[in-house]
Every structure is written in C-alpha cells, then in structure tokens.
C-alpha cells in the first residue's frame, strides 16, 4: 500500500445515499449488495442526465463512497452509505441528488491495489495509522475514492484510495 497524509481536508459531495444494512442481500465486496445497487442507481441516473453532477476533477472525475455510522449502528448494523463526487456547484444539484458535507479532518490516505482489497484491509489501515501518525482513526465515518485507476472488483490491476479520518491530535491520547 502507498500512504500519504492529507491535512484539514473538508468534503462537499453530491450524489445519492442509502441507510440500512448494506449486506442483507449479499456480502462485502459483492456487486449485488446494497452498495453495489446504490452505485448502479447513481450511474444509471447520470447516464440518463450526464450534466446532472459536474464531477471533479474534470476529465478524470473521482467518485467517493462514504460510510457514516449513526448511534444505532452498533446495535442493528444499519448505517449510511453515500456515493457521490465533489463538484464546483453543489447547490445547483438536481432534486434526485443529496449533498453530503464531511468536516475538515486529517486523513490517512492509503492506495490499495489488486489483492490488497481483501477483507481485513480496514483493520490493517487502523494499525498502520497508529504506527505512522501516532493517532488512531476516527470511527464516525470513512471514505473510499475511485477514479480511472479502478477497473472493477475482480481486476488485479485495479486501485482505489481509502481516506480514513484521524482523531484530532489534541484528543488522540
């Protein structure tokens, strides 16, 4: 894995979301689970209206998948999954889309390639963050960034970035 630190990075994203247990119909990293269905729903919408979201960066847009825990998540396994892109004009988004704002945070960014995308990668990133940055990962949300390097789950040449927020330095003890 390749690592870098992004400091004080906020996110304003436009896309679609889902709330519930995304693994009721199929397991993790299976395109038939609710996350896969959400990706299909958003991409079908954008294919029908290509100008609906002016995704950035232009020419090679990046798409983000956010997982946001809620107070009930530990009890029932339900949480929010959001898929969208940064855009220059989030308030000009169509009614079918939602705007998601994630606060500025320091992010441990890891690029995962091919067989690194196996179950347990989240735990490896958590251990690496503490060793590299001396701070644990914040547990409220996390992001995955997909761009032209991602070819699909079964493609060994595929890559994506995991953006994991770090606990602020003054509270990391």
CATH of 2-165 given 3.40.225.10, 3.40.50.1220, 3.20.80.10, 3.30.160.150: 3.20.80.10
Q: How many C-beta atoms lie closer than 10 Å to residue 137's C-beta?
A: 20
Domain boundaries, the chain: 2-165
- Whole-model pTM: value is 0.88
CB atoms closer than 10 angstroms to residue 144: 18
pLDDT 10s digits, 45-101 = 999 998 899 888 888 899 999 999 999 898 888 999 999 999 888 988 999 999 999
**49-61 residue pLDDT tens:** 988 998 888 888 9
The 10s digit of each residue's pLDDT in 144-159 is 999 999 998 778 899 9
pLDDT single digits (tens) 2-42: 999 999 999 999 999 999 887 777 556 656 678 889 999 99
Q: How many CB atoms lie within 10 A of CB 104?
A: 11
């Amino acid at each position: 894995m390749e690592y870098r630190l992004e400091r004080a990075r906020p996110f304003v994203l436009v896309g679609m979301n889902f709330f519930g247990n995304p693994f009721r119909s199929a397991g993790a990293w299976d395109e038939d689970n609710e996350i896969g269905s959400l990706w299909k729903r958003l991409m079908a919408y954008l294919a029908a209206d290509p100008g609906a979201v002016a995704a950035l960066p232009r020419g090679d847009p990046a798409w983000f998948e956010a997982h946001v825990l809620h107070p009930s998540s530990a009890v029932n396994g339900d949480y929010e999954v959001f898929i969208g892109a940064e855009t220059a004009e989030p308030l000009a988004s169509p009614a079918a889309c939602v705007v998601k704002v994630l606060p500025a945070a320091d992010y441990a960014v890891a690029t995962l390639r091919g067989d690194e995308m196996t179950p347990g990668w989240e735990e490896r990133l958590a251990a690496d963050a503490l060793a590299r940055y001396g701070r644990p990962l914040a547990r409220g949300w996390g992001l995955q960034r997909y761009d032209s390097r991602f070819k699909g789950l079964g493609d060994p040449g595929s890559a994506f970035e995991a953006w994991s927020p770090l606990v602020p330095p003054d509270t990391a003890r």
